[in-house]
Amino acid sequence: MNIAKKDLNLLLVFHVLYQEHNASLAAARMALSQPALSHKLNKLRHELGDPLFVRAPRGLAPTPRAHELAPQVQRLVAELEGFYDRCEGRDFLQRAERIHLYTTDYIEQTLLPALLPHLRRQAPNLQLITHNTRGLLPREELEKGTCDLAIAGFYANLPDTFHQQRLLTEDFVVLAARHNPQLKDGLDLPAYLACDHLLTTLTGDLNGLVDRALQARGHARRVAAGLSSFIAPSRLIHGSEMLLTCLRSVAEEAVARDAELALHPLPPGLELPRVEVMQIWHERTDADRLRRWLRQQIQQVAGTLSR
């Protein structure tokens, strides 16, 4: 077969149509008119001997042949884009774009102090906008393209079109006022249960990870308040007899800011799994040069923080 007779741009047409399942969205993404896209699709159908995409109630549905070809085409497109990235150098870092990150105030506090100065130096025209993920995977936003990246430690059951990468892991500790009278003999489980507690709840549910672990052992704690922030509760511990069970980096930041706070390990009898913080993105942005570079920078920064 003579490759000189093939239009390799048709592979990109297939790739984008397979991601979007919508001719209008695919045309806009490729800066093509709809007639131009239709012409390319007809040419692609003729070359491959299959309809590939057929009309459906909500756009276009891939045929079985399209599903079969999709993984191969995705790899080819990624390799071609990688080739041109290497040829074109780092010009993509000059692109003026807004990137939307769905995350939590904990991640903002943990990653952004080191990440933002680096982004300003290397990609000065990039604008990073963060949104509160509110305890849920922003699935619709990722699929629509209004979210470029989601970072948190509680995402699960990802669709096949989503990619994920572990950034860091953290353990839980207990934050308390340094002179909490309930802890004068140390923090064991009875002392832990004798105190009132604060917790972070992004959904309004007060039966959190700690509570479920205690219930499994026949115990319960008294929750004084549930807040929608990971950072704010640490500021309410000062001078109180309340406790906050939180990630280590949150407690360390609070202790560094306020000498009247103290960090304690979890009491014996309360075991909690380490939290794995993941970054999640949609297949549509997997090969984008700027966004791929940003994910790499985030991974590098997180690597310096992993515990």
Higher pLDDT, 235 or 160: 235
pTM for this structure?
0.73
Residue 195 has pLDDT above 60, yes or no: yes
Confidence of residue 288 (pLDDT cuts 50, 70, 90): confident
Instruction: State percent of the chain over pLDDT 70.
Output: 97
Q: Which of 51-60, 81-90, 172-181 has the lowest mean pLDDT?
A: 81-90
Confidence of residue 88 (pLDDT cuts 50, 70, 90): low
Q: Which of 156-165, 177-186, 202-211 has the lowest mean pLDDT?
A: 156-165
Contacts 24+ apart (CB under 8 A), 140-147: 141/100, 141/102, 142/280, 142/281, 142/282, 143/282, 145/282, 145/284, 145/285, 146/100, 147/100, 147/101, 147/102
Residue 238 has pLDDT above 90, yes or no: yes
Q: Which part of the chain is CATH 1.10.10.10?
A: 3-88
Average of pLDDT values for 169-175?
96
Higher pLDDT, 22 or 264: 264
Residue 216 has pLDDT above 70, yes or no: yes
What lies within 8 Å, CB to CB, of 269 at 6+ separation is 188, 189, 217
The per-residue b/e assignment along 202-227, b for 16 or more CB within 10 angstroms, e otherwise, is beeeeebebbebbeeeeeebebeebb
pLDDT (0 to 100) of residue 33: 83
Its CATH class, for the domain covering 172-273, is: alpha beta
First CA to last CA across the chain, in angstroms? Answer: 54
pLDDT (0 to 100) of residue 286: 87
Mean pLDDT score of the chain, rounded to an integer? Answer: 91
Contact present, 172 and 243 (Cβ < 8 Å): no
Q: Which part of the chain is CATH 3.40.190.10?
A: 92-168+276-305, 172-273
Confidence of residue 157 (pLDDT cuts 50, 70, 90): confident
Residue 1 has pLDDT above 60, yes or no: no
What whole-number distance in Å separates Cα of residue 70 and Cα of residue 137?
25
Average of pLDDT values for 173-181?
96
CATH for the stretch 3-88? 1.10.10.10
What number of residues does the chain have? 307
Residue 66 has pLDDT above 80, yes or no: yes
Q: What is the pLDDT of residues 33-53, one digit of tens each?
A: 888 889 999 999 999 999 999
Residue 86 has pLDDT above 80, yes or no: no
Q: Two tokens at 49?
A: 């001997």
Pairing between β-strand 162-170 and β-strand 196-200 as defined by DSSP bridges: unpaired
pLDDT (0 to 100) of residue 35: 85
pLDDT (0 to 100) of residue 62: 92
Confidence of residue 304 (pLDDT cuts 50, 70, 90): confident
Confidence of residue 161 (pLDDT cuts 50, 70, 90): confident
- Give the CATH architecture of domain 92-168+276-305: 3-Layer(aba) Sandwich (3.40)
